[in-house]
Structures are given as structure tokens and as C-alpha cells.
């Protein structure tokens, strides 16, 4: 059967790629599209021939389960291990261990088992949970036993602080109500600029990546303030000045410590750093600014309208097309 449908899957996969559907998510889409575009009738045996109908009618039927398995086999043959990539969303951050930057991959959702083999519970925590250890999310972590107890404790505290802020930011962005494309653009920019800054800090070159990272942090803050303004008031202020944006965002930003903005370089200084002007930041400086920006953004986004997912738990059922 796989040989008969492979030529159709070639076409379908190209369409899904054009629509920017992630590879792992294409399997179901491809099976669904194959039925919609190429299946006219199904021979069900005793019941004879019948039209497939809507996906809601046949998702749990045996013939679609078999088709899905064949489509999955085709995707595994084409893309290999990419198909098995974890679907958990991660927020990329950076933390320090003994003043050395390391990448932090923070899971933004937590999945716990429900009914055995049937359901699972999905939640969006806005902090590191008691049963979690944030240092477990450090990529290519060094040998923990090679550090003093003091350094180990500091590493845990820093990773926990950063991971909690990233989770709080992600939680509010996920549940935020997007009124228009402008709001969506600004709010998506928060994640893009924060992850870009983390990448540049991880690269760890004073005067090059650190300077550029500071501008990315500036832009992440701007996106948070402007996204909040656009959502709550229907317009935003065209300014780089974070103090001005903060004051124009009142009363929504009353909980944001205005003095915390004083610990972040002003936008003109951040802009100059991109061109090698001014005092180049050290690892201490850039990481301090990174922590301050995370704290500001977490508070700014807390005023967004939308679903507050931090206390939400959803029980999800195993997809019927996977079979028993």
C-alpha cells in the first residue's frame, strides 16, 4: 500500500512544507489530506462501499488507523529521527555556572499521566515546580561535582530564577488575547529577541556578541511594552525609550518597578554598543541586564488580557487514529 500512496504523499508533503507545517505535525495532516483529495470510497466489508465523510466521522475507524500507520512509515523513511523529535515547546535561555554561560532549555509545558494508556494532563506552569531541578535543563552541563558547594548552590539559584521568569513570560504569551496582527507581531517579537540575546550571550565574546545581545534585550523590552499598549489601547508609541514607554503604559504597568529600568542601559547606549562605541559589556554586565530584562518583561506581560494558564490543567485524550 505504501508504494501506491507514496507519489501522492510527495505532493502533499511539498504543500505542507510550503505552509510551514513542522515535520512531526505533517503526518496527521498528510493522512487527512490524502483521504480528502484522493479517497472516493471505502470498502468496509460487511457494510459495503461508503464515502469517508468528515474527519470527525472516521478518525477512530480502523481503516484510517491503518492508513495513518502507513503514512507515518513513509515519513520515517523520508525524515528519520526528525519525526521523533519531542513536541514539547522549549524556551531558550542562558544561565551562568561559575561565571561561564550555558544554554538553558526550559520546557514551557508539563505533561503528567492520566488514565493509563488513554489520557494525560497538560499544564503551563509559570515557575519552576518543587519537584523540578532547573539545572537539569542546562545543555552540555559540566561535571557538577567539580564545583564547590557554594558554586553549585549559586548555579541552582540562577537557573531557577531564569527558568521561572521564562516560564512566566511564556505562560502569559500563550494565553494572551491577540486583537490584531500588530499585537501578534510585537508579542512574538518578545520571544524572538530574548532567545536571540540568549544565543549571543552563550557565544560569549566581549565586544561582539555581548554588545549585540544588549540591543536584542532592548528590543525584547520594547516589544513587551508596545504589545501591551497595542492590545489594551489599540495603538502603540513609536519610541525606543523604555521609561517613556513605561509611563505611557500606565496604569497597566504600575506593578513594574520603574527603578528596575535604571539598571538597564538606555536605548542610545544600547544602540552605540552595536557599533563598538562605549564601554563594552562584560559577562557580569550582560547577564545582570539579562536578568533585569526578564524581570521587567514578566511584569509587563502580566497585564495582558487573555487566559491565565498558570493554574490551568487540561486532560487530553490519546488521538483515536493511533489505535489501541
Rg (CA), the chain: 24
CB 203 within 8 A of CB 192: no
Cell of 261: 529600568
Cell of 321: 487514529
Give the separation between CA 288 and CA 290, rounded to whole angstroms: 5
Chain segment 183-195, per-residue pLDDT in tens:
999 999 999 999 9
Distance of CA 16 to the CA centre of its chain: 21
- Looking at the chain, list the stretches that DSSP marks H as alpha helix, in order from N- to C-terminal side: 2-18, 23-38, 55-58, 62-79, 149-175, 181-203, 209-233, 242-248, 267-273, 283-301
Chain segment 111-127, per-residue pLDDT in tens:
888 887 778 888 899 99
CB 201 within 8 A of CB 101: yes
pLDDT surpassing 80 at residue 141: yes
Chain segment 295-304, per-residue pLDDT in tens:
999 999 999 9
pLDDT tier, 250 (very low <50, low <70, confident <90, very high otherwise) = very high
- CA geometry: angle 132, 135, 138, nearest 5 deg: 125
Chain segment 211-247, per-residue pLDDT in tens:
889 999 999 999 999 999 999 999 999 999 999 999 9
Question: Which residues touch 213 (CB under 8 Å, ≥6 apart)?
Answer: 196, 197, 200, 201, 281, 286, 290
CA atoms within 13 Å, Cβ hemisphere of 135 = 14
pLDDT tier, 179 (very low <50, low <70, confident <90, very high otherwise) = confident
Percent of the chain with pLDDT over 90: 51
Which is higher by pLDDT, 132 or 1?
A: 132
Question: Which residues touch 121 (CB under 8 Å, ≥6 apart)?
Answer: 111, 112, 113, 114, 313, 314, 315, 316
Give the separation between CA 220 and CA 242, rounded to whole angstroms: 11
Stated as kind and residue range, the H or E segment containing 90 is strand 90-97
Question: What average pLDDT does this structure show over 137-162?
Answer: 94
CB 293 within 8 A of CB 246: no
Give the separation between CA 47 and CA 6, rounded to whole angstroms: 28
What does the DSSP assignment read for 225-253?
HHHHHHHHHS-------HHHHHHHTTTTT
pLDDT tier, 164 (very low <50, low <70, confident <90, very high otherwise) = very high
Give the separation between CA 31 and CA 38, rounded to whole angstroms: 10
Helix/strand/coil for 315 = strand
Stated as kind and residue range, the H or E segment containing 105 is strand 100-107
pLDDT tier, 199 (very low <50, low <70, confident <90, very high otherwise) = very high
Q: What is the pLDDT of residue 104?
A: 97
pLDDT tier, 210 (very low <50, low <70, confident <90, very high otherwise) = confident
- CA geometry: angle 217, 138, 280, nearest 5 deg: 35
Give the separation between CA 268 and CA 278, rounded to whole angstroms: 10
Amino acid at each position: 500500500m505504501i508504494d501506491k500512496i507514496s507519489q501522492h504523499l510527495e505532493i502533499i508533503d511539498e504543500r505542507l512544507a510550503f505552509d510551514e507545517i513542522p515535520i512531526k505535525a505533517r503526518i496527521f495532516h498528510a493522512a487527512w489530506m490524502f483521504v480528502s483529495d484522493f479517497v472516493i470510497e471505502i470498502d468496509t466489508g460487511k457494510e459495503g462501499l461508503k464515502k469517508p465523510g468528515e474527519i470527525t466521522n472516521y478518525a477512530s475507524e480502523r481503516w484510517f488507523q491503518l492508513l495513518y500507520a502507513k503514512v507515518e512509515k513513509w515519513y520515517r523513511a523520508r525524515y528519520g529521527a526528525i519525526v521523533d523529535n519531542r513536541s514539547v515547546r522549549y524556551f531558550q535561555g542562558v544561565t551562568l555556572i561559575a561565571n561561564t554561560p550555558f544554554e538553558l532549555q526550559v520546557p514551557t509545558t508539563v505533561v503528567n499521566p492520566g488514565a493509563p494508556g488513554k489520557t494525560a494532563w497538560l499544564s503551563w506552569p509559570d515557575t519552576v515546580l518543587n519537584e523540578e531541578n532547573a539545572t537539569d535543563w542546562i545543555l552540555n552541563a559540566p561535571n557538577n561535582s567539580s564545583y564547590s558547594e557554594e558554586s553549585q548552590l549559586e548555579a541552582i539559584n540562577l537557573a531557577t530564577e531564569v527558568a521561572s521568569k521564562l516560564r512566566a513570560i511564556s505562560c502569559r504569551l500563550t494565553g494572551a488575547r491577540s486583537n490584531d496582527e500588530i499585537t501578534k507581531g510585537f508579542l512574538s517579537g518578545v520571544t524572538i529577541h530574548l532567545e536571540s540575546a540568549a544565543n549571543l550571550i552563550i557565544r560569549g565574546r566581549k565586544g561582539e556578541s555581548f554588545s549585540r545581545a544588549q540591543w536584542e534585550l532592548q528590543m525584547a523590552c520594547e516589544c513587551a511594552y508596545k504589545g501591551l499598549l497595542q492590545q489594551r489601547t489599540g495603538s502603540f508609541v513609536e519610541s525606543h525609550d523604555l521609561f517613556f514607554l513605561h509611563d505611557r503604559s500606565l496604569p497597566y504597568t504600575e506593578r513594574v518597578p520603574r527603578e528596575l529600568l535604571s539598571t538597564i542601559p538606555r536605548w542610545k547606549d544600547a544602540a552605540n554598543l552595536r557599533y563598538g562605541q562605549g564601554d563594552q559589556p562584560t559577562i557580569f554586565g550582560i547577564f545582570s541586564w539579562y536578568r533585569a530584562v526578564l524581570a521587567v518583561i514578566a511584569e509587563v506581560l502580566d497585564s495582558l488580557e487573555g487566559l491565565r494558564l498558570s493554574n490551568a490543567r487540561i486532560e487530553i485524550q490519546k488521538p483515536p487514529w493511533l489505535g489501541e
